[in-house]
Amino acid sequence: MIEARDLSKRYGEVVAVDGVSFSVDRGEVVGFLGPNGAGKTTTMRMLTGFLPPTDGSAEIAGHDIFDDALAARRAIGYLPETPPLYPEMTVSSYVTFVARIKDVPRRARAEAVDRALERCALADVRSRVIGTLSKGFRQRVGLAQAIVHSPPVLILDEPTVGLDPIQIGEIRGLIAELAAGEGDDRHTIILSSHILAEVEAICRRVILINEGRKTVDASIDELTRDGKTLEGLFAQETARDTVAADSAAGGGGAS
Ligand SMILES: Nc1ncnc2c1ncn2[C@@H]1O[C@H](COP(=O)(O)OP(=O)(O)O)[C@@H](O)[C@H]1O
Ligand SMILES: [Mg+2]
């Protein structure tokens, strides 16, 4: 469903992403784990077509991100690090607006919006102005805009960053439901996080990224066999970045 081949991104002298390849099957929920600055956001932005890679290519649902860019983009729902919400719009008018941009046919639009609001538990606040909502609710609006066109693939960049523990629990629950849907409601998901507990809570598989390179790609079951812990692995793989490893391990309390 997602195929990344040797993706690289350089900013002048800085190599943000260095030859990252992986493949994600339909229905998988994969965690992109790595300390701040590892290259997670850059990789995700390349997959979504927002950022041209310096090298390499990718396919989303069989569509090349260059040769078939429109179809590739349509197949993706993207929650950026900072969702582009319009604070003065109401929840339902904003999600309707996104549905129109994403080419949801006019006839199907109202139903698609209702469905997205319902799935993100936003039905009760649909007429509220986005700017008056709590951060947790705004993040749900971010998820609703990502799913409104029923994309098979969801790319979620640090979906719980800045939320309080209760909101974090709610958003994680919501993501788990998005992964568990049936038919058009079933999504293949990549989510990024610098928090180990987050990835452990939601994902079955981890891709560890450090200094622009993929260093681990395995199921959590595999990685925690023989009494090994993800904490130990993360600390070992990011040893040069001990501050980030410490804060990532400390993030476990939020789950
Ligand atoms: N627009 C940019 N210009 C220059 N450097 C950038 C830019 N965007 C990201 N970087 C650098 O690329 C690296 C990876 O960043 P990023 O992908 O945001 O990491 P992450 O999301 O894992 O925290 C960092 O060193 C960052 O400073
Ligand atoms: Mg990032």
For position 37, what pLDDT does the model report?
A: 94
For position 249, what pLDDT does the model report?
A: 47
pLDDT tens, position by position, 175-220: 998 888 887 778 999 999 998 888 999 999 999 999 999 999 999 9
Q: Atom 2 (ligand 1): residue with closest C-alpha?
A: 11
Return the best residue to mutate from 17, 33, 42 for the ligand 1 pocket (most ligand atoms within 8 A of CB): 42
For position 192, what pLDDT does the model report?
A: 96
Q: Which residues does a 6 A CB cutoff place in the pocket of ligand 1?
A: 11, 14, 16, 34, 36-42
Is the overall model pTM greater than 0.75, yes or no? Answer: yes
Query: 17: CA distance to ligand 2 center in Å?
Result: 12
Tell me the C-alpha distance between 144 and 216, whole Å: 31
Tell me the C-alpha distance between 137 and 83, whole Å: 12
Query: 48: CA distance to ligand 2 center in Å?
Result: 14
For position 204, what pLDDT does the model report?
A: 93
For position 1, what pLDDT does the model report?
A: 95
Task: Give the list of residues 6+ apart from residue 91 with CB closer than 8 angstroms, or none.
Answer: 117, 122, 125, 126, 127, 128, 130, 133, 141, 144
Domain spans in the chain, listed from the N-terminal domain onward: 24-75+152-255, 84-150
Please list the ranges in the chain whose pLDDT falls under 50. 244-255
In the CATH hierarchy, which top-level class contains the domain 24-75+152-255?
alpha beta
Query: 43: CA distance to ligand 2 center in Å?
Result: 9
